[in-house]
């Protein structure tokens, strides 16, 4: 992985950590990222990353993170570039009435309440500013695509085999 890409990803992560201290809720896309230890939610708040669509979040930030976590080879990175809908994802938005919406595909790797708790924590939605103004919305558009999921699983299984060899 290019050092510049890694530096950019971690620099933005530090910016998000600083934003988190403000306790302001985040809006923007998020991905469930498979790690060697399990799953984690990685959010891309607009305040730090700008207004991202999932394809951009996947290619610019999630893949470099996966590459670092799994020590992916260049060919595997190129393969992942073509499958931005291979892991669970969603988006937090704010409706005109002030309600924060957690749009999701209903396919998170954790049971419903645990999944929503993880998303709320990552997207800074636990504060009093959103008390009573939070709603989970099943959105078929956010559902992962089975062919993309199969490719992601194949790439990560190969990486896992190399790690264990």
- The predicted pLDDT at position 23 comes to 72
If one counts every other C-beta atom within 10 angstroms of the C-beta of residue 157, the result is: 10
Compute the mean pLDDT over every residue in the chain, rounded to the nearest whole number: 88
What sign results for the dihedral spanned by CA atoms 159, 77, 43, 90?
Answer: negative
Distance CA 121, CA 117 (A): 6
Residues 6+ apart with CB under 8 A from 60: 52
pLDDT in tens, 61-85: 999 999 999 999 999 999 999 999 9
Say what the pTM is: 0.87
Query: 103 and 123 in contact (C-beta within 8 Å)?
Result: no
What is the model's pLDDT at position 1? 46
Which of 92, 90, 67 has the alpha carbon at shortest distance from 152?
Answer: 67
Q: What was the pLDDT predicted at 27?
A: 94
pLDDT 10s digits, 124-140: 998 756 667 899 999 99
- The arithmetic mean of pLDDT across residues 100-123, rounded, is 93
């Amino acid at each position: 992985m290019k050092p510049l890409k890694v530096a950019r990803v971690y620099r933005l992560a530090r910016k998000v950590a600083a934003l988190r201290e403000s306790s302001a809720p985040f809006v923007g896309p998020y991905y469930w990222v498979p790690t060697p230890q399990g799953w984690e939610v990685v959010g891309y708040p607009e305040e730090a990353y700008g207004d991202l669509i999932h394809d951009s979040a996947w290619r610019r930030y999630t893949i470099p993170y996966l590459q670092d976590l799994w020590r992916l080879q260049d060919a595997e990175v190129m393969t992942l570039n073509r499958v931005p809908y291979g892991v669970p994802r969603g988006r937090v938005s704010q409706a005109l009435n002030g309600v924060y919406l957690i749009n999701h595909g209903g396919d998170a790797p954790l049971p419903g309440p645990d999944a929503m708790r993880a998303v709320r924590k990552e997207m800074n939605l636990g504060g009093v500013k959103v008390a009573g103004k939070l709603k989970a919305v099943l959105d078929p558009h956010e559902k992962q695509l089975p062919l993309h999921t199969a490719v992601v699983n194949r790439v990560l299984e190969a990486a896992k085999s190399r790690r264990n060899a």
